[in-house]
A and B are shown apart, each in its own frame.
Chain A
């Protein structure tokens, strides 16, 4: 299968920086997505990485290393509204696999 792993829970303080890691199987891999899901709501798209390197989009950045099967989502200047689950997802051919999600709690 296409195992995707990420930490279950993380906690950070408002205004801080947090990095959420994701590892995935490299065989057949196309690209890596990050989605945000607030409790009781639908997932919303954050980023898509195909090539190695860092993609920056406002307070959020996403990094990919294809050779290492590794990605991270970096959230800067954390706000209370960033408390949510962050889902790492990989494209494998015509298949699409989500990781278990990382529930981030931002404390005042």
Chain B
């Protein structure tokens, strides 16, 4: 069984479109995260959710909005996509907070044309 899964794995879309990336974890973890890894391979945290509460919100554009329908899911919605949004987006989860090991999903490669 996959611990942390993301869909889709690849996403190619045009500038100005709105898209969503879904993430699910079956580990029973309390906290989920979204990361962006750019072309230089720099991994940067975007959001984390703990029991449906946003506890970290990095200075990302408000075009990005995380949505958590329940503890096992944290989806990422992106409005008005821009070229600079092209990157690999990773979802992750940890048992409690950031002081615990994080388990990463396989990543979603987003290409904006």
Contacts and interface: CB of A to CB of B under 8 A. Distances in A.
Interface string B15-35: 000000000000000000100
Contacts of B56: 94-96
Dominant SS among interface residues on chain A: strand
Contacts of B107: 41-42
A96 B55 CA distance: 12
How many chain A residues sit at the interface, stated as a range, is 20 to 34
Interface string B34-65: 00000011111100100000011000000000
B98 interface: yes
Nearest to B105: A42
Interface string A23-55: 000000011010000000111110010100000
B102 A45 contact: yes
B97 interface: yes
Nearest to A39: B41
B interface residue count range (under 10 / 10 to 19 / 20 to 34 / 35 or more):
20 to 34
A101 B43 contact: yes
A87 B43 contact: yes
Nearest to B41: A101
B96 to A, nearest CB: 12
A94 B97 contact: yes
A102 to B, nearest CB: 11
A31 B104 contact: no
Contacts of A44: 104
Interface string A78-108: 0000000101000100111110110000000
Query: Most chain-A CB neighbours within 10 Å: which of B55, B90, B97, B98?
Result: B98
11 contacts: A41-B106, A42-B105, A43-B43, A43-B104, A45-B103, A50-B99, A87-B43, A95-B45, A95-B98, A98-B44, A101-B41
Interface of B: 33, 40-45, 48, 55-56, 90, 97-99, 101-107
